[in-house]
A and B are shown apart, each in its own frame.
Chain A
Amino acid sequence: MTVTESQKLAYVAGQAAEARVNLEIETEGMTLNLGPQHPATHGTLRIVAKLDGEQVVACEPIMGYMHRGYEKLTEVRTYPQVTTLVNRIDWLGHFANEVPFILAAETLMDIEAPPRAQWIRTIFFEMARIANITLFLGDMGVQLGALTPVFYAFRDREYVLNQMEAVTGGRFHPNFDRIGGLRDDLPKGWIADTKAVMDKVRNFCDVMEDLLVGNEIFDSRTRGIGVIPAEVALGFGLTGANLRASGVDWDLRRDQPVGLAWNEVDWKVWTHPDGDSFARYWVRLQETREAAHIIDQLLDNIPAGPVMAKVPRIIKVPEGEAWVSTENPLGEMGYYIVSKGDLGPFRCKIKSASFNNISVVPWVTRGVYVPDVITILASLYFILGDIDR
C-alpha cells in the first residue's frame, strides 16, 4: 500500500494539532499520563495531560477503568438486595448511598418510616459524611506533601466507624437501611459513646485547622489555585461542597429534606466566596464540624417508638417512576427508579456527584502547573467508585 498525498497531509495536520508547537523556541509538547495507576487519583482514574514544560495545555480525565455496572446489576436484584450494591458506590460515605435509594422505593410504595427511624437515618447519614470528609481533610495534606495529617484522619475516622459498626455490624458496608425503616434499634449506651466521639471529631477539625489551614505553604499552594466561578460551577453541574465553595448557597439537606430530620435541628450551610482549592477545603472543614453539631442535637432528642413501619414480607414495588436525591458527602446523589411492579427495579439510573465534579477538570486545569493539577484534583474530592459506579 502506498501512502497518498492527502494521507500525508492529514497526518501532518494531526501532528500539528496534537502538539502545541512553540514557535519561538521550537519546542514540542509532552503528553503525560496521570494514571490509571497514580497515587493522586485514589484508584483508577486516568488523566491525560498535554504539557508545555510543566504547564498544562490541555487535560482530560478518562473514566471507566472501574466501571462495575451497578445500574445494570440492580435490574437482576430485588429491592432489599440493592442496598448491598450501592454501599460500594461512594465507599467512604457508605450509609449515605443507601438512603436515597430506599427513600425512592418508599415513595413508590407510599410507605413512610417511623420518626425514630428517620432520626437515626439522619444521624448515620451525617456520620457517613464525617467518615468520608475526615479522610479528605487528611488526604489533602498528602497531595501537598504533608504526610502527617492523614494519619490523624485515619485514627479519628476509626472512632466514627466503630460507632457505626456497633449498630450495623459493618465498618464499610453497613447495609442497614430497609424499606420502611431500619434493621435494628440502637444498642444500649450508644448515644453517650457517640457524643464522646463527636468531641473527638471536633478536636480533629481543630487539629487540621492548626496543621494545614494556618500554614503558609498550604495557603500559597491553595489560595487562588483552581478558581471555579459560580456560573462555571453551575454550568458543569457541580454539587456539594464544590458548589458551595464557589459561593452558591445550595444544600439539599436544607432545601429538600425528603422526610429526614435535618429541619428539626439548628444548623448552618457554609459557603465561601472564593471558589479556589482553599475554599473547597475550608467549606468541607466547616461542614465536618457542622455535621458533629447536627449529630449532637439529634442525639439529644431521638423520638421513641418503633424503627420499622409495617411492610409486606415480600416487597413488591408498584408500577411507577420516582426520583429522590439527597445531599451526600460528595454532593448530590440521586436514584431514578422505574418499576414495573416486580421484585426488583426495571431500570435504575444512579446520579452520583463525583461524575459531575470531575467534569470540570479540563476547564479548571488549563494553564496551571503539574503540581497544581494534583492539588485541584484533591480539592475537588472524588471517589473513583462514585465516578464509575
Chain B
Amino acid sequence: MLSVELAYWQQTLLRTVGVLAAVLLPAGALVQLFLFKAVSFMQSRLGPMEAGPHGSLQLFAEVGKWIQKEDIVPDRADARLFKLAPYLVVGTVLLVYLAIPFGPDAVFADLEGGIFYALAASSVSVIGVLIAGWASANKYSLLGGLRAAGQLIAYELPLVLAVMGVVIQAGTLNLQRIVTAQADGSIFGFGAIGLPFAITQIVGFVVFLIAMQAELTQTPFDMPVAESELVTGFMTEYSGMRFLLFFIGEFAAVGALSAVAATLFLGGWYFPGLDHDANYMNVLGPIILLAKILLLSFVVFWVRFTYPRFREDQLQKFAWTVLIPISLLNIVGTMILKVAF
C-alpha cells in the first residue's frame, strides 16, 4: 500500500482521476495511433496531416468539433432514455478498469473475484446499446440494437468460458494473483520469462480474442453498427457530445478488454526479468500494461480493417457451434492437466 495515509475523500478523488486517465489515455492512444494513422497506412493514404505535426493533434480537433455540434434528440424518441444510453455505455467501461491491476499496489479495487467482476461489468454495456436502439425511434437503430443484444449475449459465453481455463490454472479469481501466478510460474523448470498463460492457454487466448472482437462489435462482427446496411445502427440518431460518448465508449472498451486479455494471458503489468514485488513496479507496471494493451488492440484494428463482416445468423452459428464447444473442451483439458501435473 501507499506509504502516505490519505483521507477517504482524497483517495476517492485520486481513484476517480486515475480511472479517467486509465480509460481516456489508452482510448485516445488507440484512436490516434491506430484508427487515424496505422489504418491509413494500411489503406495507402496518409491520414490526418494538418492538425499538429503529422496530424498528432487531430484527436483534440475532433473532440473540439463534436463538443460544438448540436445535441439533437429526435421528436419521437424517448428523450430521457435516449439521453441516458451513452452514459451507461461509457460508465461500464470505467467500471471494468476498476478491477484491473497496474502494479503490485497500483490497483483501484483489489477485488477477490476480480475477473468475475470485470466480465460482469463489461456486459452491462449491452443494456445501454439496447436502450439507445429502442429509444431512438428509428428502424435502423432498432435493428442495430437488437442485433447488438443478440450478439453480445452470444459472445459473452465463449468469453467467460475462455477465461475459465486461466482461472483453473491460476487457482484464483483475483486478477492481482493471476498476474503473480504468471510471473512466478515456470515452463518445465525454465522460469526466466515466467509463465504467460498465453502459452498454456493458447486455445483460450485465441477464443478470447475472437469473442473480444465480437464483444467490441468490430469487423468481422460489426453487424450492430454495420455502416453499409444499418448506417451505424444504434448510433444513427446521436449527434454531438452524445455521439462522442459512444465513440469514447467504443474505443475505451477496446482498451478495457485488451487490458483484461493482457492481464489474463500476457502477464499483465509484469515484464520478465523485473522484480514483481519491488515498489518501482508501481510506476513501470502501468507503462508495461499500456504497451501490452496497445499490442492487443493493434490486432483488433488490424483484423477490423482487413476482413469483411459476417451475417447475423452466421455469427450466431459460429459462436454456438465452434467457439463454445472449443472453449468447453479447453476447460476439460485444462482440468485434466491441472490434476495430472
| Residues of A in contact with B (beta carbons under 8 Å apart) | 30, 32-33, 38-40, 54, 141-148, 151-152, 155, 211-212, 215, 217-218, 220-221, 369-374
A372 to B45, CA, bound (A): 30
The dominant DSSP class at the B interface is loop
CB distance from B80 to the nearest CB of A (A): 25
Residues of A within 8 A of B230 (CB): 370
Is there contact, CB below 8 Å, between B308 and A146? yes
Task: Give the 4 A-B residue pairs with the shortest CB-CB distance, closest first.
Answer: A145-B309, A144-B308, A151-B43, A146-B308
Q: Does B305 contact A (CB under 8 A)?
A: yes
Residues of A within 8 A of B228 (CB): 39-40, 142-145, 374
Is there contact, CB below 8 Å, between B139 and A145? no
Contact with A along B285-323 (1 / 0, CB 8 A): 000000000000000000001111111111000000000
CB distance from A49 to the nearest CB of B (A): 10
A54 to B151, CA, bound (A): 14
Is there contact, CB below 8 Å, between B311 and A145? no
Nearest to A212 among chain B residues (CB) is B308
A374 to B229, CA, bound (A): 6
Residues of B within 8 A of A30 (CB): 139
Residues of A within 8 A of B176 (CB): none
Given A145-B308, A220-B310, A221-B308, CB of A371 within 8 Å of CB of B42: no
Given A217-B307, A221-B311, CB of A146 within 8 Å of CB of B231: no
Residues of B within 8 A of A155 (CB): 44
A145 to B230, CA, bound (A): 11
Residues of A within 8 A of B215 (CB): none
Is there contact, CB below 8 Å, between A145 and B226? yes
A374 to B312, CA, bound (A): 13
Residues of A within 8 A of B43 (CB): 147-148, 151-152
Nearest to A218 among chain B residues (CB) is B308
Residues of A within 8 A of B44 (CB): 151-152, 155
CB distance from A201 to the nearest CB of B (A): 16
Residues of A within 8 A of B308 (CB): 141, 144-146, 212, 215, 217-218, 221
Given A54-B312, A146-B306, A217-B307, CB of A40 within 8 Å of CB of B143: no
A144 to B314, CA, bound (A): 14
Residues of A within 8 A of B305 (CB): 146-148
Q: Does B223 contact A (CB under 8 A)?
A: yes
Is there contact, CB below 8 Å, between B139 and A38? no
Identify which of residues 150-185 in chain B touch chain A, using a CB-to-CB cut-off of 8 Å: none
Is there contact, CB below 8 Å, between B309 and A144? yes
A221 to B310, CA, bound (A): 7
Q: Does B220 contact A (CB under 8 A)?
A: yes
Residues of A within 8 A of B136 (CB): none
A373 to B143, CA, bound (A): 15
Is there contact, CB below 8 Å, between A146 and B229? no
A148 to B303, CA, bound (A): 11
A214 to B44, CA, bound (A): 21
17 contacts between A and B (CB under 8 A): A32-B139, A32-B140, A32-B143, A39-B227, A142-B228, A144-B228, A145-B309, A151-B45, A215-B308, A217-B308, A217-B309, A220-B311, A221-B314, A369-B312, A370-B230, A371-B311, A372-B311
A40 to B232, CA, bound (A): 12
Query: How many residues of chain B are within 8 Å of chain A by beta carbon?
Result: 27
A146 to B226, CA, bound (A): 11
Is there contact, CB below 8 Å, between A220 and B314? yes
Nearest to B306 among chain A residues (CB) is A148
Q: Does B237 contact A (CB under 8 A)?
A: no
A173 to B143, CA, bound (A): 40
Residues of B within 8 A of A151 (CB): 43-45
CB distance from A338 to the nearest CB of B (A): 42
CB distance from B120 to the nearest CB of A (A): 29
A218 to B306, CA, bound (A): 11
Is there contact, CB below 8 Å, between A54 and B143? yes
Given A32-B139, A145-B309, A369-B312, CB of A40 within 8 Å of CB of B229: yes
Is there contact, CB below 8 Å, between A146 and B219? yes
A370 to B309, CA, bound (A): 13
Residues of A within 8 A of B220 (CB): 145, 217
Residues of B within 8 A of A211 (CB): 306
A39 to B305, CA, bound (A): 18
Residues of B within 8 A of A218 (CB): 308
A294 to B16, CA, bound (A): 67
CB distance from B179 to the nearest CB of A (A): 35
A39 to B45, CA, bound (A): 22
Is there contact, CB below 8 Å, between A39 and B231? yes
A143 to B222, CA, bound (A): 12
Is there contact, CB below 8 Å, between A145 and B222? yes
A187 to B313, CA, bound (A): 55
Is there contact, CB below 8 Å, between A38 and B311? no
Residues of B within 8 A of A373 (CB): 229
Residues of B within 8 A of A32 (CB): 139-140, 143
A4 to B169, CA, bound (A): 76
A351 to B220, CA, bound (A): 39
Is there contact, CB below 8 Å, between B311 and A369? yes
A143 to B314, CA, bound (A): 17
Is there contact, CB below 8 Å, between A370 and B229? yes
Residues of B within 8 A of A145 (CB): 219-220, 222, 226-228, 307-309
Residues of A within 8 A of B306 (CB): 146, 148, 211
Nearest to B229 among chain A residues (CB) is A374
CB distance from B326 to the nearest CB of A (A): 17
A211 to B308, CA, bound (A): 10
CB distance from B219 to the nearest CB of A (A): 5
Residues of B within 8 A of A54 (CB): 143, 312
Identify which of residues 29-53 in chain B touch chain A, using a CB-to-CB cut-off of 8 Å: 42-45
CB distance from A75 to the nearest CB of B (A): 39
Residues of B within 8 A of A152 (CB): 43-44
CB distance from A352 to the nearest CB of B (A): 24
Is there contact, CB below 8 Å, between A371 and B229? yes
